[in-house]
């Protein structure tokens, strides 16, 4: 029997409940490369999405069970021809919606020999970044996408720009083997020690310390909304960066949850690297 791979599918970016599907390698490639729209589209938010992660319930890191594919998401202009360096492995690739002749944006999908438990994904993501640096040696895969065990990706589609079908690229490569992503050499993280208890309402007469207030989810949500953020589960995203001016800043609402980001960061890796305090965003 042919080896199969499980993925989750979503009808749109706001969908929370995944539809689980299982494919052979051949059908996985055909499904991910088949344009998700019969005609070119002008807005990617209309496209369906998929995730290499299987979930026990709604899409979230807390509900992630295992990951069947390693996905490198390139938005920094790295030449799409670099995919050829992974010729030893079976892989699927396609350009992203905003890919152009001048600025290449694309995804490399490597189905895994063995699915990786979600609890190990942070270590596996570190090993994946090492694999990229060793194999390619240039370019920076999106680190947030790489480390996010609940990440979903837009399906391939042609944009409505002129000569879209000539500009956009896609394909599948049959290598000698599937990728066996080895991460046993990455040390396990020590249990996280929470410095602050989960915030609970206090009487109006009680004094609240500055640090405790900083971790107050209600206050953090107010800052996010005032800064014009879009809220995705526990993360405030698309906030204007005080340094570079791009809407790339993000932070977590509840800092006691696993994988939370306490201080606001700019997502433009190796380009801006700004981080600061909540008040910097107001």
Coil, strand, or helix at residue 262? coil
- pLDDT, residue 30, reads 95
Task: Kindly state the percentage of the chain with pLDDT values over 70.
Answer: 91
- Domain endpoint, select from 173, 195, 224: 173
Residue-number span of the structural domain to which 236 is assigned: 210-281
Judge whether residue 81 has pLDDT over 60: yes
Looking at the structure, do residues 9 and 80 belong to the same domain, yes or no?
yes
Number of domains in the chain: 2
Instruction: Write out pLDDT tens, residues 28-64.
Output: 999 999 988 777 777 788 889 999 999 999 999 999 9
As a whole number, mean pLDDT of residues 178-201 equals 74
Instruction: Write out pLDDT tens, residues 120-146.
Output: 999 999 999 999 999 998 899 999 999
Place of tokens 């370019």: 139
Q: Does residue 194 form part of some domain?
A: no
Query: Which CATH number is 131's domain given?
Result: 3.30.70
Cα–Cα distance measured from residue 96 to residue 44, given in angstroms and rounded to the nearest whole number: 10
Q: Does residue 25 form part of some domain?
A: yes
Q: Does residue 179 form part of some domain?
A: no
In the predicted model, what is the mean pLDDT of the chain? 88
Strand order in the sheet with 170-173: 53-55, 64-74, 106-117, 91-95, 170-173
Instruction: Write out pLDDT tens, residues 260-278.
Output: 888 898 887 567 778 888 8
* Single pTM value for the model: 0.67
Task: Kindly state the percentage of the chain with pLDDT values over 90.
Answer: 56
Could you please report the per-residue DSSP string of 84-136?
GGGTTB-EEEEE-TT--SSS--EEEEEEEEEEEEGGGHHHHHHHHHHHHHHHT
Pair of tokens at residue 97: 């919606």
As a whole number, mean pLDDT of residues 221-247 equals 89
Looking at the structure, do residues 164 and 217 belong to the same domain, yes or no?
no
Cα–Cα distance measured from residue 223 to residue 236, given in angstroms and rounded to the nearest whole number: 10
Three-class SS of 144-195: HHHHCCCCCEECCCCECCCCHHHHCCEEEECCCECECCCCCCCCCCCCCCCC
Q: To which H or E segment does residue 224 belong?
A: helix 217-226
Judge whether residue 198 has pLDDT over 60: no
As a whole number, mean pLDDT of residues 149-166 equals 86
Residue 214 φ then ψ, to 5°: -60, -30
Looking at the structure, do residues 133 and 228 belong to the same domain, yes or no?
no
Confidence class for position 215, pLDDT limits 50, 70, 90: confident
Looking at the structure, do residues 224 and 154 belong to the same domain, yes or no?
no
């Amino acid at each position: 029997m042919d080896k199969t791979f499980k993925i989750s599918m979503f009808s749109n970016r706001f969908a929370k409940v995944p539809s689980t599907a299982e494919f052979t390698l051949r059908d996985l490639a055909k499904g991910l490369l088949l344009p998700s729209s019969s005609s070119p589209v002008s807005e990617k938010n209309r496209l369906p999405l998929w995730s290499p992660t299987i979930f026990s319930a709604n899409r979230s890191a807390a509900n992630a069970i295992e990951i069947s594919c390693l996905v490198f998401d390139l938005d920094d202009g790295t030449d799409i021809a670099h995919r050829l360096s992974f010729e030893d492995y079976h892989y699927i690739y396609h350009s992203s919606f905003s890919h152009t002749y001048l600025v290449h944006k694309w995804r490399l999908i490597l189905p895994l020999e063995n699915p990786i438990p979600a609890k190990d994904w942070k270590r596996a993501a570190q090993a994946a970044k090492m694999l990229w640096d060793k194999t390619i040696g240039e370019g920076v895969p999106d680190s947030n996408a790489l480390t996010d065990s609940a990440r979903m990706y837009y399906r391939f589609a042609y944009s409505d720009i002129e000569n879209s079908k000539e500009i956009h690229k896609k394909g599948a490569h049959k290598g000698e083997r599937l990728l066996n992503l080895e991460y046993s050499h990455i040390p396990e993280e020590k249990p996280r020690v929470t410095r602050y208890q989960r915030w609970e309402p206090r009487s109006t007469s009680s004094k609240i310390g500055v640090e405790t207030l900083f971790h107050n989810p209600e206050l953090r949500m107010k800052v996010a909304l005032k800064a014009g953020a879009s809220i995705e589960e526990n993360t405030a995203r698309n906030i204007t960066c005080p340094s570079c001016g791009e809407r790339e800043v993000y932070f977590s609402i509840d800092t006691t949850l696993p994988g939370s980001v306490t201080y606001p960061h700019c997502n433009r890796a190796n380009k801006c690297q700004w981080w600061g305090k909540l008040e910097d965003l107001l």
